[in-house]
Structure 1
Amino acid sequence: MVMRRLAKLMAWSLLCFGLFVWSLRLETLPAKAESPPGSATSFRNKGAGKRSPQNSERQALMAEGRAAQLIADYPKALAEYQEGLQLAQASGNKKATAKFLSNIGTVHRDLGDYERALEYLERALATRRELGDRRGEGMDLTRLSSVYEHLGDYTEAFQSCEQALAIAKETGEPMIQANALAGMGSLYRQTGQLQKALEAYSQALALDRESQRPLAEASALASMGELYCLMGQYEKSLQLVEQSLAIRKGLNHRRGISRCLNVKGTVCRRLGQGKRALQYYEESLAINREIKDRRGEAGSLNMIGNLYANNLRQNDKALQFHEPALSIAREIKDRRAEGTALNSIGVDYYGLRQYEQALQFLQQGLAIHREIKDRLGEGVALYMMGYCYRDSGRQEQARQAFSSAIGILAEVVAPEQSWRALRGLGSVEARLGRNDEAVVHYGQALDVIESLRSELGEEKTKTTFMQSKLQIYDEFIILLQTLHGKYPNKGYDRKSLEVFERKQGRVFLEEVGQSGARSFAGLPESVRARESDLDDRVALLQSTLAEERSKAGKGQRAAEIRSMQQQLTQATAAQASLQKEIRANHPDYYALKYPQPATLSDLQERVLKPGEVILVYGVLDNGTCLWVIAKDHFRLFSIGAGLKEIESKVHNFRKGLETVLEAIRRKEAVDGFSRILRSSLKDLEQNGRELYGLLIPEGAQKIIAQAGTIYVVPTGHLYSLPFEALVSPGKAGAKEPAYLLEGHSVAYLPSASLLKVLREARTRKRGEAPYPLLAFANPVYPGMKSSLPKGIPLRSAAPDAAGASVAGAEILDLRAGTYLQLMGGSFPGLPDTEDEAREIKSILGAPDASQPLQLKEAASRSNVLRFNRENKLNQYRYLVFACHGILPGEVDFVTQPALVLSHPDPSTQQGGFLTMADVLGLQLNADLVTLSACNTGRGKLQRGEGVIGLTRAFMFAGTRAITVTLWSVESKSAKTLTTGLYHNLKSGKNLAESLRAAKLRMIHREAGEYYDHPFFWAPLVMMGDVS
């Protein structure tokens, strides 16, 4: 025993005494005496003064216990403290006895054994008071406060903190004051006083930093991060938690690391990033089990269960985590954790539609939350009871529960819970026939959601955040649609359109607004420069931080993360200040850069021109809304087909197009090819007529009859449908199909609001581009292997061996990523695109001095980026890219939609893919970008945003319109369409009429025998403002 003690004394006297002063809320030296672990000062402090061997041994036991507690080795910490306690009691040293009693109490607190923690801390407090040790008394009072809080006795907890603050004021001890403020912050949070909590934590943080107590600083940062998460300010939450995590990782503070991981998981869960959230939660759970932190284990289990219940809708799986969490909470007598687990199990049974069982657990949770004055927990229990009552048919009870919850949740500032309660109340009021109240409360729920969304910076984060919220928009639209059917003159149809526009394409709308703002006339250059610098700085910091956070834990650079977060906080504050200044002094510019969804009045009075109609489609699960908007007409139609039926009908329509593609792939002989064309045309005509009748009801047909241009706002699978190829009823006995295109120009928009932004930007442009054309065509492909099956390269087909003409001899090569998938092999050259580009140059009269043709090796990614770098891209009115187009996965290493320019790039010898990310970095000032390639209109279909691909990227870069393709386009038809488009533009037609005229020429067989088939003329469509 003696040798063991001497060994401990020698080892720990050199190192561990410095470690323990970093620990949070543990008995430490005064702040001025603290030193980093292992420093010279620490060594001198250890050796200062003359101590008896017994005193030195006690100090060694104390140091070793604190070091073990710091890294959550609780059994070792208890063993050292208990041995030290025995020595102190044996020697009659009451001051040392009090210290050991206090630290043993904190270990039991950290382990979740609150009754035993209370016993030891009360003994320590009594001893301190007996000795008149005011400093020690203050420390123990803050520790007792945290134990009372976990036991749900908030009255005693508040009193303990207030007594500690009085002692801190009397003694001038900043550490006691900081700990007491942190305790008050936690109590304010639990009782729903979030602003007071934030103020208390902020004061504690300042004191901790001033006293150089890094673990206490980390705790305050994490607490503030949790608060901001609760308040829906997720980016602020992550910034603070990352700072806390960096400190805790540096000190190997396992319990604190676990806490930070849980907060990060909750932020990810609320942003809809379920997979990432689960990784954080599971890592936290593993740490808690390893260090035997029962309270932390219960918390992690509860959070994993919440993820399965709320995000993944696997309520039976959620129970497997929530039930053990409840058992642990009861075992350690943590009343708040018990109430939380009961609420969670109630949610699980609600998801399993076992409403009575759910109510039993929720009522138990409600009783506990009320007993311990946990207002947030009370509000959650009440609104979940509201859903149980609603779905079991007890609407009045549901209304009362929701109303009570809303009052509480507003009081405690819990927006994530508030919008759910408001949504529930709106749905109940609708069932009770309280229509006006239902509309108000649904609207308030959307306001809360959009307030949360406005706090987010990164566009990707905004999109994922909204994914889990879209259903409430659809619910509200369905309610308004139903009310409009009953009360057609109350404006519910107008309101439903506004709700749809609040939901649809918001990120795209904001991106195009930012793009238009770049060329806004009237903003002082000094303001523009400041704004640009701040925008660039914030964007760079956000992307760099996101990249660093995505690394595995050991690969993250904690110091760099902390520094970047501080820089980002400063930059965003400066950005917000400048935005306020711009809003006050330059309102037109502000409205363009930060656009709001358009109202019906906006569209009819300030956006639409005579002869224009917008068809807005809201495809829902069990039906579809169609809003038809003209300058002097507006009507809402209900279409019976929902998501699955629409998908099936669009798929059937496109099968007729795929049949033609297959025939070309097989090099079908002319006779066979002609039969396939006739057969597929018959199928297309039938399916096109069905879709026309379904998607354009009779009343809508009357409104569009006099329209010259139809703008289509599609959702879901309607994005892949060429509306111009729909077949109208036509005249009885007509031999040829009457396509929608024959009566109207057709263009596409992701939302009606986008047309408003595009036109506002156009009227405030600083000037038109000086040159007419820049074309990238006939790129060089010396041979690039696809990841797809091997096969022959794409090339012009020749007559077969018997001399019989095959379809491929007449139907030239497809510019096809999808065709490459069918055929395999290398990208073939596209020499005909050079002819196409030269003809467009001739049509537009582009001067050679403007370098309009970038051909062969010059048609490269590096050249596009060079033009952009030298600020030349924005000098061209029309841009043409005549090349191959690919989708993610069609070629190795390409994960975004891309244009295939010269490959490998002649300048860099790297990939020649101009990706969506590249395009987002371009700066254009174009009226039209033409993508004469395949599948450029396709991309990732994102609910609420539409297709995220090259179309969106080029419009963000700075064009008001773009032509893209919906399937693999055949080369001759591509050239006919593109050159015809520019010929018609030169003759004075607008964009929409120019493309329509080129297509009509093909429909009327002026381009060749086969080209009246929609496969050849319909793939090229136009998006944006085409007037």
Structure 2
Amino acid sequence: MNNLAYIYQALGRLEESLPLSEKGYHLTKEILGDKHSSTLFSLNNLTFLYQALGRLNDALPLSKRLYDLTKEVLGEKHPDTLIILNNVAGIYQSLGSLDEALLLLEKNYRLAKNVVGDKHPTTLLIMNHLAVIYQALGNLNDALSLSEKSYPLTKEVMGNKHPYTFKSLNILAFIYLKQDRLDKALPLFENGYHLFKEVLGDKHPDTLKSLSNLAVGYSEQGSIYKAIDLLKTLVKGVEHLRRSDLSAENRQALFKQYTESYTLLSFLYHLSNNSIDAFHTAKMTKARTRLDSMILTLAAQKASLTEKEQQQFQNHHRQITALNHQIAQAAELEKRLVFERQKNQVVKQAANFQRGLMTKYPKEFKQLVAPEIITINEGANLIPSDGLFISYLMLDNHVLVFTLDSTGDLQTHDLGEIAGLEQTLKTYQQLLGEKCTVKKLRSRACGRKYVWQLADGRFFVGKKPSRDKKPKKVKKLGKKLLAPIQDRLHSKPRWIISPDSMLAQIPFETLILEEQPVIAQHEISYVQSLSVLALLKEREKAYQSLKGRETLLAMGAPRYHLPGNRPKKCNQPTRAPDFDVERMLARNANDQQRYQKAFKAKEVKWCNLPGATKELAALEKLFADKRPVIYKQAEASETNLQRLNREQELTRYRYLVFSAHGYFDAQTPELSVIVLDQLNKTPDTDGYITASEWPSYDFKSDLMVLSAC
């Protein structure tokens, strides 16, 4: 079983390798123990598979555990141990921890040379990887020196058609590319791609990555149409991989590895004056997993499935959601692996069941789950006459904007490179979180801070920097992102914005255009893509056909403290920022009250919200003739929310409103919560609804408002 899993993985057939790898590791560990060579082999298979899928945060603890066990069994200097340490470093590198990767690899390289010699395959593998790290750190001279030495040696020892040799060749080509030596890089990329395709096949993940490298080389050369042809081939290959029976999380992680190639293709289409294909390709980079889920759910609702089939469809969804929650809660690695294996089994069962539905309902179900690409005219019909669809696409700091109106007029706007955009967006987020305005930041009460622009274009909030950094006056972010498309914005009061990358984390309403906030003159809504907008419209129609729907359910103004017992400082952490909350949550993963303890450790205290009480009263008055259901004070509790979910009550309302405290933590996303009643908790409910818990709630609302502060 383990050998077959390894073969499937080597062939790039990840979907078939995954269940065998998970089952093989579980059985060998159970029967032979965790230190047996077969168990270590199967754990190595599983680690490499997670890495190939892009599940790096899951692969890292597996690889570290594998290294510790292998070192204990075989010793630190055994070639197998050295190879596994090389893989640990590779995962650190992919996660962006380059210093950690460099430290491990330099130590590993010294050990390999001393133990097995310069020409051993293990040494050559590590040498090639070390060259990659040097290149990533910008040390191109050392990277080139090492790579020019390792490629001929790898070719000599392993042969011209060994995968190690292909990878070594690609590494050397990429370093040449970074040095702008296209005359050297392109022939190597071309040779590497043909070898990968010949030996591994055109749909193997490594072949697709080699193809992507060659396309980048052609685009740098200015051979736009050659690059486009290659990237079109890549898109076909990636879409083939995405259609496999992988979980949503695995498909998402797998696709993330190729997103930049799709983005590059969109930019190249734009450069070739092909706005329509540029727009459609950009659309493919956004919310693909979410889109797949919505399509499937809508198809099940619209097709004439039997009651038993509908129940089976919902059961699979509930099982997967519950297992996702268990995976998120499990602190121990082995428990997570057990839940992951169980989930992938359910995913496979669900995929087989859905294929059966496609066969049984070829028109009603199959056509719905495989919709055609939305045309520009179809998309235009979704946009109101006074509205404008605005879609951003980012390639590093280069920004492209597509605008589409109700007449079908699609325009592409190239904003060019915006220097220091990533840091500028972070600074803008920080400013929005400050209690002080930009002008008040300079006061003593606000810490005498300034907003500075450095010579390289980056912005930051802090004390005055040294003179050699040449601070400049901060400019308006709105001028960079909105002013270039101002002609399209003037007559359109309603904007439907599809942001990209870090742009999704800023509220466009707050940007300044024509000396005032955007929200003063425009109504803003957000959507992941035009395809998602189309599905939302379809879902809206499906929901409107539901019978017996009520109008409004609201929950808010929970109790956070007793009257007259208001904390002195509310809603903000007072504990030092270096407090490791993530580790604390992981350590107490089986404790239902761990979020309570985390906020207590951060010294966050919640204050009652009189404004929420007024908001609920206004809603009650507004919907007086519609018999709204409103839960407030002690009734605004997690216990009640769970009960309503169990009884399917949450699916019966057109509008849902939650008016309570919310907490967003970019550093520890697990700590991002909606805070309900804190005075009437139970051992199983702590009053905190986390991001990982929301998918377990079943909603069929036209609008849900999180009025959190």
- TM-score when scaled to structure 1? 0.55
Summarize the Cα distance change of 1:758–1:620 in structure 2 as closer, same or farther, 3 Å threshold. Answer: same
Work out the CA distance in 1 between the residues paired with 2:323 and 2:430.
44
Summarize the Cα distance change of 1:739–1:426 in structure 2 as closer, same or farther, 3 Å threshold. Answer: same
Q: Indicate the residue corresponding to 2:540 in structure 1.
A: 762
Work out the CA distance in 2 between the residues paired with 1:520 and 1:458.
23
Summarize the Cα distance change of 1:280–1:504 in structure 2 as closer, same or farther, 3 Å threshold. Answer: same
Work out the CA distance in 1 between the residues paired with 2:90 and 2:314.
41
Question: Which residue type is aligned with residue 216 of structure 2?
Answer: S
Q: Report if aligned partners of 1:592, 1:757 keep a CA contact under 8 Å in 2.
A: no
Question: Which residue type is aligned with residue 285 of structure 2?
Answer: K
Match 1:915 to one of 672, 676, 690: 690
Q: Indicate the residue corresponding to 1:445 in structure 2.
A: 234
Work out the CA distance in 2 between the residues paired with 1:899 and 1:792.
19
Structure 1 unaligned regions, length at least 5: 1-220, 669-686, 730-736, 795-816, 935-1027
Residue 362 in structure 1 maps to residue 151 in structure 2: yes
Q: Indicate the residue corresponding to 1:380 in structure 2.
A: 167
Residue 791 in structure 1 maps to residue 568 in structure 2: yes
Alignment of 1:929-968 (within 5 A): 929-934=704-709
Alignment of 1:191-210 (within 5 A): none
Q: Report if aligned partners of 2:170, 2:188 keep a CA contact under 8 Å in 1.
A: yes
Q: Report if aligned partners of 1:514, 1:593 keep a CA contact under 8 Å in 2.
A: yes
Alignment of 1:29-108 (within 5 A): none
Question: Which residue type is aligned with residue 439 of structure 1?
Answer: I
Q: Report if aligned partners of 1:647, 1:717 keep a CA contact under 8 Å in 2.
A: no
Residue 861 in structure 1 maps to residue 638 in structure 2: yes
CA RMSD in angstroms, aligned pairs only:
4.4
Question: Which residue type is aligned with residue 358 of structure 1?
Answer: S
Work out the CA distance in 2 between the residues paired with 1:895 and 1:541.
17
Question: Based on CA coordinates, which of the two structures has the bigger radius of gyration?
Answer: 1
Deviation for aligned residue 1:888: 4.4
Q: Report if aligned partners of 1:769, 1:925 keep a CA contact under 8 Å in 2.
A: no
Deviation for aligned residue 1:689: 9.0
Structure 2 unaligned regions, length at least 5: 445-472, 572-595
Summarize the Cα distance change of 1:576–1:598 in structure 2 as closer, same or farther, 3 Å threshold. Answer: same
Residue 502 in structure 1 maps to residue 284 in structure 2: yes
Q: Indicate the residue corresponding to 1:150 in structure 2.
A: none
Could you say what secondary structure the match of 1:884 adopts? strand
Q: Indicate the residue corresponding to 2:460 in structure 1.
A: none
Alignment of 1:646-795 (within 5 A): 647-648=423-424, 651=427, 655=431, 658-659=434-435, 690-698=476-484, 700-729=485-514, 739-765=517-543, 766-767=545-546, 770-782=549-561, 791-792=568-569
Question: Which residue type is aligned with residue 237 of structure 2?
Answer: V
Deviation for aligned residue 1:770: 2.4
Residue 261 in structure 1 maps to residue 43 in structure 2: yes
Alignment of 1:309-388 (within 5 A): 311-312=95-96, 313=98, 316-317=102-103, 318-322=105-109, 324-325=111-112, 328-330=115-117, 337=122, 340-341=125-126, 343-344=128-129, 347=132, 351=136, 352-353=139-140, 354-370=143-159, 375-388=162-175
Question: Which residue type is aligned with residue 157 of structure 2?
Answer: I
Q: Indicate the residue corresponding to 1:874 in structure 2.
A: 651
Deviation for aligned residue 1:727: 4.1
Work out the CA distance in 2 between the residues paired with 1:390 and 1:894.
37
Work out the CA distance in 1 between the residues paired with 2:230 and 2:417.
28
Q: Indicate the residue corresponding to 1:245 in structure 2.
A: 25
Deviation for aligned residue 1:241: 2.9
Could you say what secondary structure the match of 1:409 adopts? helix
Could you say what secondary structure the match of 1:858 adopts? coil
Q: Report if aligned partners of 1:225, 1:240 keep a CA contact under 8 Å in 2.
A: yes
Summarize the Cα distance change of 1:624–1:864 in structure 2 as closer, same or farther, 3 Å threshold. Answer: same
Summarize the Cα distance change of 1:607–1:523 in structure 2 as closer, same or farther, 3 Å threshold. Answer: farther
Question: Which residue type is aligned with residue 749 of structure 1?
Answer: V
Work out the CA distance in 2 between the residues paired with 1:889 and 1:607.
33
Summarize the Cα distance change of 1:724–1:652 in structure 2 as closer, same or farther, 3 Å threshold. Answer: closer
Could you say what secondary structure the match of 1:859 adopts? coil
Count of aligned positions:
637
Deviations 1:549-595 (A, max 9, x none): x6256x799xxx59x95x76765444333323434525565565577
Could you say what secondary structure the match of 1:778 adopts? strand
Work out the CA distance in 1 between the residues paired with 2:326 and 2:13.
20
Residue 576 in structure 1 maps to residue 351 in structure 2: yes
Q: Indicate the residue corresponding to 2:312 in structure 1.
A: 530
Summarize the Cα distance change of 1:689–1:876 in structure 2 as closer, same or farther, 3 Å threshold. Answer: farther
Question: Which residue type is aligned with residue 251 of structure 1?
Answer: L
Work out the CA distance in 1 between the residues paired with 2:432 and 2:24.
59
Could you say what secondary structure the match of 2:217 adopts? helix
Match 1:638 to one of 414, 427, 443: 414
Work out the CA distance in 1 between the residues paired with 2:213 and 2:42.
32
Work out the CA distance in 2 between the residues paired with 1:546 and 1:741.
37
Question: Which residue type is aligned with residue 230 of structure 2?
Answer: H
Work out the CA distance in 1 between the residues paired with 2:217 and 2:495.
39
Q: Indicate the residue corresponding to 1:902 in structure 2.
A: 677
Work out the CA distance in 1 between the residues paired with 2:310 and 2:531.
25
Summarize the Cα distance change of 1:302–1:323 in structure 2 as closer, same or farther, 3 Å threshold. Answer: farther
Match 1:551 to one of 305, 324, 332: 332
Q: Report if aligned partners of 1:304, 1:321 keep a CA contact under 8 Å in 2.
A: no
Deviation for aligned residue 1:228: 3.2
Summarize the Cα distance change of 1:751–1:286 in structure 2 as closer, same or farther, 3 Å threshold. Answer: same
Work out the CA distance in 2 between the residues paired with 1:664 and 1:776.
36
Alignment of 1:143-292 (within 5 A): 221-234=1-14, 236-249=16-29, 250-252=31-33, 254-274=36-56, 276-292=58-74
Deviation for aligned residue 1:319: 4.0
Deviation for aligned residue 1:325: 3.7
Q: Report if aligned partners of 1:254, 1:287 keep a CA contact under 8 Å in 2.
A: no
Q: Report if aligned partners of 1:348, 1:358 keep a CA contact under 8 Å in 2.
A: no
Deviation for aligned residue 1:754: 1.7
Q: Report if aligned partners of 2:655, 2:703 keep a CA contact under 8 Å in 1.
A: yes
Q: Indicate the residue corresponding to 2:470 in structure 1.
A: none
Match 2:188 to one of 401, 419, 429: 401
Work out the CA distance in 1 between the residues paired with 2:519 and 2:548.
31
Deviation for aligned residue 1:358: 0.8
Deviations 1:809-831 (A, max 9, x none): xxxxxxxx9xx99x977433334
Q: Report if aligned partners of 1:272, 1:311 keep a CA contact under 8 Å in 2.
A: no
Q: Report if aligned partners of 1:774, 1:876 keep a CA contact under 8 Å in 2.
A: yes
Q: Report if aligned partners of 1:298, 1:326 keep a CA contact under 8 Å in 2.
A: no
Deviations 1:364-413 (A, max 9, x none): 21233327xx5433433343343244445553554443333333323424
Q: Indicate the residue corresponding to 1:928 in structure 2.
A: 703
Identity %: 17
Q: Report if aligned partners of 1:245, 1:260 keep a CA contact under 8 Å in 2.
A: yes
Work out the CA distance in 2 between the residues paired with 1:238 and 1:468.
18
Match 1:303 to one of 87, 93, 101: 87
Deviations 1:942-998 (A, max 9, x none): xxxxxxxxxxxxxxxxxxxxxxxxxxxxxxxxxxxxxxxxxxxxxxxxxxxxxxxxx
Deviations 1:495-516 (A, max 9, x none): 3333322222223333444554
Question: Which residue type is aligned with residue 91 of structure 2?
Answer: L
Could you say what secondary structure the match of 1:776 adopts? strand
Deviations 1:96-139 (A, max 9, x none): xxxxxxxxxxxxxxxxxxxxxxxxxxxxxxxxxxxxxxxxxxxx
Higher mean C-alpha displacement, 438-447 vs 231-240: 231-240
Q: Indicate the residue corresponding to 2:456 in structure 1.
A: none
Q: Indicate the residue corresponding to 1:885 in structure 2.
A: 662
Summarize the Cα distance change of 1:657–1:831 in structure 2 as closer, same or farther, 3 Å threshold. Answer: closer
